[in-house]
């Protein structure tokens, strides 16, 4: 599985576990939203439980939830830690429940709990494995259907590895057409802001690898 980890993510334990896993191809790259992107499908925001409470207090949590929901990927908010981590916290429990309810009901974001970094990594791997089982024989095209030509072009570009809505717009603006994007070399792709060597290589690989 391909996992893109935001290059600002400060979780050396998780990064080490991912980098040493034989089933994971780990890529360090700047993400515009979230901490991890799995198989160009699942965007994950990881919050230790104390950081979660802080983000509720300062109002950042709901704005982050909005960006996750608008990302074009399947969003997931992993809450890491246990009650012992916030033993001395005086925050009203109702405020926490209200924030989590809003995230689930308004933004349709699932919020699973993990006890530590090891469980977080296992959850990420389980999610990718389940998705691959579902897609082993069928390629579903459910949900949003773009109407205009431009939206259809952007939708198509988001099928490329590590390409979300914003990067799709940059690609289309830079090259002018879908055909030009598909014909671009790796170095030409890297001229687009937000595309590094790993993503450019992944795009060229998916476009040029013969079907089995």
Q: Domains in the chain, start-ordered, CATH in brackets?
A: 2-135 (3.40.50.10130), 149-208 (1.10.150.20)
Strands across the sheet containing 25-29: 25-29, 2-6, 36-38, 42-48, 74-80, 113-114
Q: List strand residue ranges (DSSP E) for the chain, in order.
A: 2-6, 25-29, 36-38, 42-48, 74-80, 113-114
Q: What is the pLDDT of residue 212?
A: 55
Q: Is 74 exposed, middle or buried (0-12, 13-18, 19+ CB in 10 A)?
A: middle
Q: What is the pLDDT of residue 1?
A: 86
Q: What is the pLDDT of residue 82?
A: 79
194 token code pair: 């937000």
pTM for the full model?
0.60
Q: What is the pLDDT of residue 164?
A: 87
65 token code pair: 């939830």
Closest C-alpha among 157, 158, 162, 159 to residue 196: 162
Q: What is the pLDDT of residue 23?
A: 87
Q: What is the pLDDT of residue 211?
A: 66
C-alpha 14/C-alpha 64 separation (Å) is 21
Q: Which residues, in sequence order, are CB contacts of 32 under 8 Å at separation 6+?
A: 71, 164, 166, 167, 194
Mean pLDDT by runs of 10 across the 212 residues of the chain is: 90 91 91 92 91 88 90 91 71 83 90 93 88 59 60 86 89 93 94 92 90 60
C-alpha 161/C-alpha 75 separation (Å) is 17
Closest C-alpha among 125, 197, 188 to residue 162: 197
Per residue in 129-140, pLDDT tens? Answer: 887 776 554 445
Q: What is the pLDDT of residue 86?
A: 65
Q: What is the pLDDT of residue 78?
A: 95
């Amino acid at each position: 599985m391909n996992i893109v980890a935001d290059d600002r993510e400060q979780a050396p334990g998780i990064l080490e576990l991912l980098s040493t896993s034989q089933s994971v191809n780990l890529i360090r790259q700047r993400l515009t939203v979230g901490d991890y992107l799995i198989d160009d499908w699942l965007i994950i925001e990881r919050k230790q439980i104390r950081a979660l409470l802080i983000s509720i207090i300062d109002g950042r949590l709901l704005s982050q939830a909005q960006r996750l929901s608008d990302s074009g990927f399947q969003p997931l908010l992993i809450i890491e830690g246990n009650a012992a981590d916030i033993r001395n916290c005086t925050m009203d429990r109702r405020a926490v429940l209200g924030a989590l309810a809003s995230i689930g009901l308004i933004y349709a974001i699932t919020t699973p709990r993990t006890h530590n970094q090891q469980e977080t990594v296992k959850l990420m791997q389980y999610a990718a494995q389940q998705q691959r089982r579902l897609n082993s024989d069928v390629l579903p095209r459910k949900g949003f259907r773009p109407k205009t030509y431009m939206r259809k072009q952007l939708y198509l570009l988001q099928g490329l590895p590590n390409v979300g809505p914003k990067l799709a717009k940059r690609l289309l603006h830079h090259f002018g057409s879908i055909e030009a994007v598909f014909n671009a070399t790796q170095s030409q792709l890297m001229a687009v802001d937000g595309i590094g060597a790993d993503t450019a290589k992944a795009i060229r690989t998916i476009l040029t690898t013969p079907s089995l």
